[in-house]
Amino acid sequence: MIDLLIYHLHIVGVLYAFTMRWQREGLKGGFLAVATCGLVFTILWAVTGPIARILMPQAAQPGDLFTSDTLSLVLLMIPEVIFFRVFFLRAPSVPERDAAV
């Protein structure tokens, strides 16, 4: 269940990134933001998955709420939040504002 919540947060984040880039740079910028978010998600999940399995080597029992996959998604969110704040939440710099107008 926690996994589903984290996936939904990712979907909301990607939709926000698409919308913000689409309004500033057009449709091409929006799709580029979605592709960038997908690439970051895939690469970081490939890195955090083995780390989570080292920290939680035992197999999950049916009904467990916090498994190694959940831990890998939680570990994934830490660098993703930093990435998202740097690339999508900061205000555009002065040259970007002039180019958009």
pTM, entire model: 0.77
pLDDT of residue 38: 94
Which residues are CB-neighbours of 18 under 8 A, at least 6 positions away? 30, 31, 33, 34
CB 19 within 8 A of CB 30: yes
Percentage above 70 pLDDT, the chain: 86
Nearest-CA neighbor of 65 among 6, 9, 11, 13? 6
